[in-house]
Amino acid sequence: MKNIDFTDFFNVFLSGATVGWFLFYFYLRCAMIEKIIHPEAFMWSSELQQTIIQRCKAVQYRLQEPLSRHTSFRIGGPAAVMAFPKTTEELKQLLQGAAAAGAQPYILGAGTNILAPDEGLDALVICLKDALCGIRLLDEARIEAYAGESMAKAAVFAKNHALTGLEFAHGIPGTLGGGVYMNAGAYGGELKQVVESVTILTMDGEEKTLSGEECAFGYRASVYQKLPCVIVKAVLQLHPGDPEEIGQAMRTLMEKRRASQPLELPSAGSTFKRPTGYFAGPLIEQAGLKGCGVGGAEVSKKHAGFVVNTGGASADDVKKTIAMVQSRVWEASGVQLEPEVRIW
């Protein structure tokens, strides 16, 4: 058996311990520097989380929840706190708690029009999808739907009650709240045509109701894009119709959507707004950009108006692809494309 030189062993042990202590010290110094540069990140991991959660104990929370699970792009790092209020009162408590903590929450529906950052958000994200839900018939021609309900479910509810006017919404993947925010539309229909009133909560929890006219709807625009608030519910004015005809119209629009759009790949729907006098898709295709992209993001080969995640795309990949498309289309046609997708 070989003799062990304990002197050499002790020296090796000391050198290893020295390296270990150095690395530990280096880590602490880096953490202290980061804390000085980005104190809000550490505040979120302690004080803000505790403040909001303690004030709103009945609300369901998830900490460090990946945004990629809640966006149709399947992109996005963790949110420090994600809350799922199931009632208006819970939502009010959340907003009041955030205001008391000096925090500005992000509002998320189905995430079908959102590009979330790769690094995530040191913030409170309030998710309304499958949380703040409910649909009811008010009278023979009006329905009331909460913001967390899907547009598709609202359309089916209307059909089941022999009400026409919401067929266009059947294939739109977002929530009613997100639809009102964007004045969502497709195939000649838009929410502007059917919204009678919208109930909101201001960021300090005050409830207000706006008429359809006060919503100031425009093409993919509404007053809510400038008004600090959260959409709670909307009343939709529809018209009596034949359920069979309504159902057939919905199926026809869905077949058209499946045939023309890349629904098999993650995306945020139409990436660009329709420029005045043009359509974004043809302009992008004429610039020779189908199939072009950066990293895991590319312009869809099926429909040039969509930027899709072909697998493992980052938010940076998508943003660079959007910028490339804007630049090339401007060079080719002199038309400036404006993103429809909201970039957080």
126 bridge partner residues:
83, 107
What is d(CA 39, CA 239) in angstroms, rounded to the nearest whole number? 54
Three-class secondary structure of residue 195 per DSSP? strand
**Other beta carbons within 10 Å of 279:** 14
d(CA 253, CA 66): 33
Strand partners, 124: 81
Distance of CA 165 to the CA centre of its chain: 26
71 contact partners, CB below 8 Å, separation of at least 6: 111, 112, 114, 115, 116, 268
> Pick the catalytic residue: 90, 190, 220, 222?
220
Active site includes 144? no
Contact 76, 118 (CB under 8 A): yes
Kindly report the backbone phi and psi dihedral angles of residue 153, in degrees, each rounded to the nearest multiple of 5, phi listed first. Answer: -65, -40
Q: Which residues in 70-129 belong to E strands, given as ranges?
A: 78-84, 106-108, 114-115, 121-127
89 classed as catalytic: no
Query: Rounded to a whole number, what is the distance in angstroms from the first to the last CA of the chain?
Result: 66
Per the annotation, the verdict on 260 as an active-site residue is no
Candidates 150, 270, 300, 314; catalytic one? 270
Which of the following is catalytic: 90, 190, 298, 340? Answer: 340
Phi-psi region of 237 (alpha: psi -120 to 50; beta: other; left: phi over 0): beta
Q: Which of 178, 182, 169, 180 is nearest to 273 (CA)?
A: 182
- Catalytic (active-site) positions: 220, 270, 340
